[in-house]
Structure 1
Amino acid sequence: MSSESCRSNPPLQTALPINFIIIGGGIAGLACAIALRRVGHHAIVLERKERANVSSHSGIRLPPNCTKILYHWGLRGILMQRAMITHTLLFSRYESGEFLGTHIWDEGMLKETRGQFMLTTHAELHEVLYDAAVALGADIRYGAEVQEIDPGSPTVKLASGEVLSADVLVGADGEFGVSRALVLEGRDDGNPTGLALYDTTISQDELLERANFLYEDNGIIVAFGLGRAIVVYPIQDKKELAFQWYGPDEESVGRYGDIASADIHSVANAVHKDLRAVMSRVRKAVRVSIRDHEDLEDWVADDSRLVLIGEAAHPFPPGTIQASAMAIEDGAVLAKLFSHLSEERQIESFLYAFQELRQSRVRQVREQEFGGVFYMTLPDADAAAQRDNGLREKAAAGLNALDGSEEASKAWEEMEVIFGYDCEDQADDWWLKWGMLRERALSVDQGAAPSLLDFSKMITQVSSTIIDEESH
């Protein structure tokens, strides 16, 4: 991929290029490197694993708020080659196979979001981002394990003994990485939710004629059960199916990166015969315990230039649609803010602005994603029946599954807000409303600069200046 193919509407270039070290070469780290290089900063990505072991073949769903960023970065063409567009959700019962309803994404809504729903694999998305980052000049180092971080310097020490320094450190090494542990002053294993995800794929050749019903209109199949659920969707140009089974978590162990050794047949009981026929061909799965991690009060380490992004800042339930999207949004926002860097003194304020912009957004989306997992796997028979009856009624009336009732309409409105959100626009808005205001306040009174986020003082200073100018 040429550098030119990664460029779309070249963004504002920073007046002061600085050095970023990004700890972690997954989706979050690579996306951050792309975004920073696009605005002119230097980026080194340090990944402890070898390149062949970083990505997985798991399925991944990319919502419109994510694909619009990748399109803006000039990656639309390659995504169209490596991913599939989907418009349809198909709901059924886990135990009986009964059809419950369909939801077709509204074309008008998708047009407004400037993105699309896409289906691909973690490995394919990782390769697209890697190629783009390298083409833009990012330095990506594999087998570079960070053992120590000194956020005050800021420097990192590798397992090899090499010490690297930068102007800003970005922790993108996940919920169990050294960056999050440093900010938390300890490891955070999260609290078990009672659910686990089994993640695997099935090849079309292995399915034979058993699963033609799963390929309808590139749709995402969701089967609701009592305390269980299945999500299935096509990947690899329909050559394979991504298969994700949710069920009770009796061991509270397992995470992404583990060897695919779990046997779904031993845990996925009571499933309908059509899905059972499919599951007879399922490969060994990666077992991931679904845990709820505490919200971090700060994503920026105290008195330092270390900032967390992606799963290091906000671990999401595994397999959910927004997990990778939020990581990509993080990188886009951080880079947008730092495109305005003109003096070193701005670095800390931009890091805290990033935290301020992202925390409320991520918490809202994360709450909805957890709600979606629990909605699919309702263990209470009465609550599950109420959910299913609502879907049946909408299907009988010819309505989309997410349309109709007041509750559904509210959920749909929230979803539209999430999908329509433009994180880069929000970063630009911050600069126009607060960043420029702060710079003007500083120019008004260089002798008494306002504190890092003392916006009220900024407003007072700038307002006084405007009044003085108007009086003359």
Structure 2
Amino acid sequence: MSEKVRLQVIIVGAGLSGIAAAISTALSGHTVQVIEQASELAEVGAGLQITPNASRLLKQWQLRDSLWEAAAEPTKLTVHRYSGEILAHDDAFDKGIRTKYNAPFIDLHRVDLQQALFERAQELGVTFHLGERIALVDFETTTVYSETGHQFTGDLIVAADGLWSRCREALVGHKDEPLPTGDLAYRIVLSADQIQDPELKALVENPEVHFWIGPGAHAVGYSVRGGKMYNIVLLVPDNLPPGVSRQAGSVDEMKELFVGWDPILNRFLDCVKSGRIDKWKLMHHGEMENWVNDRSNLVFIGDACHPMLPYLAQGANSSLEDGAVLGLLLGRMSNKSQLPRILRLYESLRKSRGESIVRETFKQRHDFHMVDGEEQVKRDQIFRSQLGQEIKGAFPSRWTCPEVQPWLYGYDANKEVEKAVAEHAHLFVEAAKNRPFSCVIL
């Protein structure tokens, strides 16, 4: 790419989508600045399930080797009824995933991933401005003003500022607060030294994924840090007051919600002796009409435009996809006049997929949170009828569903961009030079 088409890109937000976009855009030859309101990148630690649609991107971006050493690759995936009964089981999950998608399914500590992305972005020359909360976005001049009085001007603003996006508010011209989904999450990370029970220790040190599904709630547990820590997420009905998105919870209150559930799950919960257990309200937004503004100098990615329930673990993965696709498309520019249509192409590639995943997460919640009754009995019959067999057709757990899993995990951002560029080649033809009397339509 020639110097004259190097964009000055301002990314608002240094979460996973923002840093992914920074890496992909920098690799495409553009100059990138990231503005982040936090004074340091020390996000609250919890686990992340990185599925093949995103793990292949991490490989392509050449993140540090220590990230992969800190990963846990689950060999098995099991869905239990809340009593403990096994409803679905894949005892060669890791091998099957690698064979089908040529990329692994790995479980990571969020901090490990964010720090590895941050380090790689810095290696690529990305500039980070921490402690800068956004005060104003001026679309006429493509300028972001922070509350500290600093201003950042460029050619393109990438809104990667999450669920409570200030950029989203600037675009619509009013407060646009997220809506409650009716669920909240307890997030627990146990270190190996907190677990004395030999059976539980073995589950931690030999990574697997376990789901427990029950009336109005479900739980998921998996190893991180190479089997040295265990991450548990409890998804339960929301009892936080209106307007409260996060609150300290009681260990006893948490345990009370799972009385009568699988003894294995409860033995894990018994390892949580004391300390702060936060409750997080799970929020969402309605679908945005557009992800690109009229001036084509603002584009949305990640939770700023498609926040999603964690029930398919695709919040992080789809955000990494967004950043990758945006950067790859920007790398195909040969003239700045192409930017508006390139951004619209990004929107056409990503909006329908992101919003479809959001809808699928609500379907997964429905199937995992059924109250005991006729519908639940029919669900469990589907589970049991295929236990130990090759699964065929629609399946209540999308994690191994032969219809949903390939759609999620088989997505390859690079191939999608290559295909789109081939189909829309006219968008990437360099505008004619020094022809004042001719009109070139891109």
With the length of structure 2 as denominator, give the TM-score of the two structures. Answer: 0.89
Amino acid at match of 1:288: W
Question: Residue 20 of structure 2 aligns with which residue?
Answer: 31
Question: Residue 232 of structure 2 aligns with which residue?
Answer: 243
Q: Does 1:347 align with 2:339?
A: yes
Question: Residue 10 of structure 2 aligns with which residue?
Answer: 21
Q: Does 1:167 align with 2:159?
A: no
* Contact kept? 2:218, 2:369, Cα under 8 Å: yes
Instruction: Describe the shift of the 1:146–1:440 C-alpha distance in structure 2 as closer, same or farther (beyond 3 A).
Output: closer
Amino acid at match of 2:325: V
* Cα RMSD after superposing both structures: 2.7
Equivalent runs, 1:353-372 vs 2, <5 Å: 353-372=345-364
Question: Whole-Å Cα distance in 1 between the matches of residues 148 and 418 of structure 2?
Answer: 40
Equivalent runs, 1:40-55 vs 2, <5 Å: 40-53=29-42, 55=43
> What stretches of structure 2 of length at least 5 have no aligned partner?
none
**Bigger fraction of residues in helix:** 1
Instruction: Describe the shift of the 1:319–1:48 C-alpha distance in structure 2 as closer, same or farther (beyond 3 A).
Output: farther
**Residue 183 of structure 1: CA displacement?**
2.5
* Contact kept? 1:14, 1:341, Cα under 8 Å: no
Determine which of 389, 392, 399 is the counterpart of 1:399: 389
Determine which of 261, 277, 281 is the counterpart of 1:271: 261
Question: Residue 60 of structure 2 aligns with which residue?
Answer: 72
* Contact kept? 1:253, 1:289, Cα under 8 Å: no
Determine which of 120, 128, 147 is the counterpart of 1:140: 128
Amino acid at match of 2:368: M
Runs of at least 4 residues off by over 6 Å? 12-15
Question: Whole-Å Cα distance in 2 between the matches of residues 172 and 127 of structure 1?
Answer: 17
**Residue 110 of structure 1: CA displacement?**
2.7
Question: Whole-Å Cα distance in 1 between the matches of residues 420 and 332 of structure 2?
Answer: 11
* Contact kept? 1:61, 1:120, Cα under 8 Å: yes
Q: Secondary structure of the residue that 2:389 maps to in structure 1?
A: coil
Question: Residue 101 of structure 1 aligns with which residue?
Answer: 88
**Residue 447 of structure 1: CA displacement?**
4.0
Q: Secondary structure of the residue that 1:57 maps to in structure 2?
A: coil
Q: Does 1:158 align with 2:150?
A: no
Determine which of 93, 96, 108 is the counterpart of 1:120: 108
* Contact kept? 2:342, 2:427, Cα under 8 Å: no
Determine which of 270, 285, 290 is the counterpart of 1:298: 290
**Residue 327 of structure 1: CA displacement?**
0.8
Question: Whole-Å Cα distance in 1 between the matches of residues 240 and 71 of structure 2?
Answer: 34
**Residue 417 of structure 1: CA displacement?**
2.4
User: Quick one: percent identity of the two aligned structures?
Assistant: 25
Question: Whole-Å Cα distance in 1 between the matches of residues 408 and 322 of structure 2?
Answer: 14
**Residue 212 of structure 1: CA displacement?**
3.8
> What stretches of structure 1 of length at least 5 have no aligned partner?
1-11, 451-457, 459-472
Amino acid at match of 2:34: V
Q: In the comparison of the two structures, how many residue pairs are matched? A: 432
Deviation string for 1:22-59 (max 9, x for gaps)? 10011111111111111111111111112154x12111
Question: Residue 281 of structure 2 aligns with which residue?
Answer: 289
* Contact kept? 1:154, 1:166, Cα under 8 Å: yes
Question: Whole-Å Cα distance in 2 between the matches of residues 404 and 67 of structure 1?
Answer: 26
**Residue 163 of structure 1: CA displacement?**
1.4
Equivalent runs, 1:408-423 vs 2, <5 Å: 411-423=401-413
Question: Whole-Å Cα distance in 1 between the matches of residues 192 and 395 of structure 2?
Answer: 38
